[in-house]
Amino acid sequence: MLDWHDKTARKTEERSPVTQVYLRTSIERHYLSHPMCALVVPIEIAMAVFRRFRPDDLNRFSKCNLDSLVETYEVGFYLQYHAKWPSLFQVCEDNQGNIIGYIMGKVESSPDAYKRSEHYLPWHAHITAFTVASEARRLGIGKILAEQVETAADARNAWFVDLFVRRSNEVAIAFYKSAGYSVFRVVKDYYIDHATDPTKATEDALDMRKPLKRDADRQHIRKDGERYEVSRDDVW
């Protein structure tokens, strides 16, 4: 059963006309379409198309998933996101048909039974997977993919977008901060391995958030999030 957030969002998406916004980046000028439609962007490596994920894209994820820091999942997991949250699953395709970037997200909230918990999460969007192929980085692709998910989350009346990132992944953390994300809390021993130190069995995650239009007062953001530590059991 869909809750009222989902019903409202689907009606909004059905009614929304195609819109284009003229953007400037350090690389090129981009035309950004509504998240439901394809976005064609001239970039240095080739003509890139931004669009929704299709099931046959899974056969072309290899360029993106070569990075050891990228979490990979079973086929059914990707298809579940495609079926439930298609507007939050976007890809970037080059002119040779390769997928050179993708972002996969969802919208959710903690169960009502947890409403009194300090760790309760209100209606929000969560980025589960996000990567750009190594040869296509620093071209603005990640920025556009993130903006598409944020736009889709706004359409679903979410309070914020959040994600988990390894504490050792300084490049990704810097990117997210430049895109408007900040650390909300540190999840101790979230990952069951360590990306850079094989002598360590676990690694902390930074839970980073970006407020959306609904959270105009920034009530779901912390200024000192890196000092706020929680355990894996506190994360729903």
| CATH (domain of 67) | 3.40.630.30
| 103, 127 contact by CB (below 8 A) | yes
Residue 29 domain flag = no
Per the structure, the complete domain to which residue 67 belongs is given by 49-234
User: What is the band of 74 on the pLDDT scale with cuts at 50, 70, 90?
Assistant: very high
Q: Which helix or strand (DSSP H or E) is residue 20 part of? A: strand 20-24
d(CA 55, CA 81): 11
Q: Which helix or strand (DSSP H or E) is residue 207 part of? A: strand 203-211
| 124, 183 contact by CB (below 8 A) | no
How many separate domains does the chain show? 1
| 166 vs 7, higher pLDDT | 166
Computed over every residue of the chain, the mean pLDDT equals: 83
pLDDT of residue 196: 77
Q: What are phi and psi of 210, to 5 degrees?
A: -130, 125
User: Which among 125, 83, 100 has a CA at the least distance from the CA of 46?
Assistant: 100
Q: Tell me the angle at which helices 141-155 and 4-15 cross, rounded to the nearest 10 degrees.
A: 110
Residue 139 domain flag = yes
pLDDT of residue 236: 75
Q: What's the CA angle centered on 212, arms 208 and 140, to 5 degrees?
A: 70
Residue 89 domain flag = yes
Give the amino acid at 130: F
Q: What's the CA angle centered on 150, arms 148 and 154, to 5 degrees?
A: 120
Residue 13 domain flag = no
pLDDT of residue 172: 94
130 torsion bin: left (phi>0), alpha (psi -120 to 50), beta (else): beta
Residue 149 domain flag = yes
User: What is the band of 141 on the pLDDT scale with cuts at 50, 70, 90?
Assistant: very high
Residue 16 domain flag = no
Q: 224 pLDDT exceeds 90?
A: yes
Residue 23 domain flag = no
User: What is the band of 44 on the pLDDT scale with cuts at 50, 70, 90?
Assistant: very low
Continuous H helices in 75-234: 75-84, 141-155, 170-178
